[in-house]
Amino acid sequence: MQPQNYEICSDPLGNGKNCEVYKIKEQNNPQSILIAKIYENSRRKYYEKEKRILLKISNSNDVEINDYLIHIKNINARLEISKQFKADSTLLTFDFLIHGNILDYITLKSFGKPISEIYAKLLCYKLLLGLKKIHSNNISHNKIEVRNIMFDDNFNPIIIHFGNAL
């Protein structure tokens, strides 16, 4: 697979003790924006753990089925060496979820109006389907919170952040 050149195009979107999260854009196609979790070499075991968990819950045979979980982008992304991306760093890439997290949507985008009961039930049902898939693979997420539930392009909830999963 031919490497695609990307560059960091945001301030840190999140960081923890194991990695930093940035938006990245393809240099030849600036509209192609992804999310990258960047791990320094000293944190490589955390990169390997999260990658293993995400690959375990991914089912490439069912790409048309939305299981309400974040999936690794299967691309060969190459970032320029920078302050954020050192030569010995590794990264996981994901689709950029433009609609933000569930808290942003409920508090900011609904203009203070409560969401309807039927929509809340639908969101809960879809999240339970995602949790069912996680648990059927003997994985415990360990950090389900509102900032770790994002929305895809069709406003389906997507569970993210498997860095603390077991």
Residues 77-119: tens digit of each pLDDT: 888 777 777 788 889 999 999 888 888 777 666 566 777 889 8
3-state secondary structure of 41: helix
Q: pTM to 2 decimals?
A: 0.84
For the chain, the average pLDDT equals 85
- Residue 63: the pLDDT is 52
Higher pLDDT, 60 or 3: 3
Confidence grade of residue 68 (pLDDT, cut at 50, 70, 90): very high
Q: Which range among 81-85, 123-127, 146-150 shows the weakest confidence by mean pLDDT?
A: 81-85
The two tokens of residue 38 are: 């960047």
Higher pLDDT, 1 or 106: 106
Contacts of 100 (CB under 8 A, 6+ apart): 108, 109, 150, 151
Portion of the chain with pLDDT greater than 70, in percent: 91
Task: Cite the beta strand spans of the chain per DSSP E.
Answer: 4-8, 14-15, 20-26, 29-39, 77-79, 90-95, 149-151, 157-159
C-alpha 7/C-alpha 30 separation (Å) is: 9
Portion of the chain with pLDDT greater than 90, in percent: 34
- Residue 131: the pLDDT is 93
What does the angle CA 17 – CA 35 – CA 134 come to, to the nearest 5 degrees?
A: 75
C-beta of residue 120 within 8 angstroms of C-beta of residue 102 = no
C-alpha 71/C-alpha 133 separation (Å) is: 13
pLDDT of 62 > 60? The answer is: no
C-alpha 40/C-alpha 84 separation (Å) is: 9
Fold of 4-159: Transferase(Phosphotransferase); domain 1 (1.10.510)
Domain definitions of the chain by residue range: 4-159
